[in-house]
Structure 1
């Protein structure tokens, strides 16, 4: 059994063939799908997806850093209201993204820290989005570190040193299609990280692995990520599936 710990299956990129796409994922052994939120506009679509696949879909709630704009206070209020109304399995995806807009750094960090505190309140993991912002993310994690801080560093693309630092904050590394890229670099040192610190993800519909790079990603391609991880660690794909799914259960509690 494979677990996709980060996949945007409610995306309109799947509106034409969502059911067929899910069947392809099931056929490849992907049985559990953890769904990150973006902002209030994604909430209803997430709930509809959960209603259709209640035993397979596990929802997170949070405000994505690229959605942290002038109205972020109202968006954070939406996140808090949703947590009061129902169960979620993580606060995510949250973090800092300086690729698109550096001018919002301070409010991104504010939103990030406040959502970490929300996760602590509900005793939940966080799922971190970090793009061009390792130092800025680590700055917040350093302030919030402790036994009650844990989660996943989604789409990890950093160095070995950054991987070790992320792990020091009780984070698993979310590994997806980038590990199959020739210029992805993480494949050159990943074997130095114990497999107990790794979970698998697709980030579908983004970041499709080779040989589908540049095309729409989907959860069935998680098997290609698992195959690459098996090659890197010189273990069987079955063992990768077992360990990474156990790691996901440790984080999400289900």
Structure 2
């Protein structure tokens, strides 16, 4: 059984003291494919250093909406150069975030438009961060969608209608730790979404699933998210592993 973590920030300082142990635990649990979205230019350089004999890492390039302020103007030519390389399988993470500040909303939108252009030009999926910005995010994706844009709503926490709209716009939905929080209501929405459009993610070190809620998240905890999804979908853990890994590989063009 092989599980896939499609969104993990292993290059962050939260892992600097025990990264080898974290990767060993991931491998032991069967999470041997880990996707690494960037948050800024520096993180791209940091992820290159990651290695483990049993794990395959898939890199992405992008500027997180919360990093836009510190990277103005966002360099489209630099992003395109990264994403044109076979070393990079996706564009992101990008998106909109109105939670921390709304001072740079226009700049975030310009950056997201730019990431969409790069995604369409390279034929690679876009990874979308969304926090308290759902309508604007989906409106912008609808504006950019010309039939060639693919991607994922990372850390999906939307309503059923918002989820269906995202699917209609060609997006997959990232199922993470929040789907295990019974008071969040996300589990009920995820249960209604089509299995062929769901992929698993941790967003480690953030948003650890039950029973690790409140602790540092790590790739090994994908198994907890997968077990919860299996219960929601009335499938076996093995079926969830097979289907979500297949979905991830289809989205990111992995053979």
TM-score, structure 1 normalization? 0.95
Q: CA deviation at 1:87?
A: 2.8
How far apart, in 2, do the equivalents of 1:84 and 1:234 lie? 40
Corresponding residue of 1:148: 148
How far apart, in 1, do the equivalents of 2:27 and 2:71 lie? 39
Q: What residue ranges of structure 1 are gaps of 5+ in the alignment?
A: none
Q: CA deviation at 1:53?
A: 5.8
Question: Aligned pair 1:23/2:1, yes or no?
Answer: no
Q: What residue ranges of structure 2 are gaps of 5+ in the alignment?
A: none
Question: Aligned pair 1:136/2:136, yes or no?
Answer: yes
How far apart, in 1, do the equivalents of 2:74 and 2:97 lie? 20
52 and 226 in structure 1: CA distance in 2 versus 1, 3 angstrom threshold? closer
How far apart, in 2, do the equivalents of 1:143 and 1:54 lie? 41
211 and 70 in structure 1: CA distance in 2 versus 1, 3 angstrom threshold? closer
229 and 63 in structure 1: CA distance in 2 versus 1, 3 angstrom threshold? same
Local SS of the residue matching 1:199: strand
Question: Aligned pair 1:198/2:192, yes or no?
Answer: no
Does the 8 A contact of 1:39 with 1:75 survive in 2?
no
Does the 8 A contact of 2:181 with 2:209 survive in 1?
yes
Corresponding residue of 2:9: 8
74 and 92 in structure 1: CA distance in 2 versus 1, 3 angstrom threshold? closer
Local SS of the residue matching 2:166: helix
Corresponding residue of 2:90: 90
What RMSD, in angstroms, separates the aligned Cα atoms of the two structures?
1.6
Q: CA deviation at 1:78?
A: 3.6
How far apart, in 2, do the equivalents of 1:89 and 1:129 lie? 17
Question: Aligned pair 1:118/2:118, yes or no?
Answer: yes
How far apart, in 2, do the equivalents of 1:251 and 1:7 lie? 17
How far apart, in 2, do the equivalents of 1:230 and 1:146 lie? 34
Name segments (4+ residues, structure 1) moved above 2 Å.
Answer: 51-55, 74-87
Q: CA deviation at 1:57?
A: 0.2
Q: How many residues align?
A: 253
Does the 8 A contact of 1:141 with 1:169 survive in 2?
yes
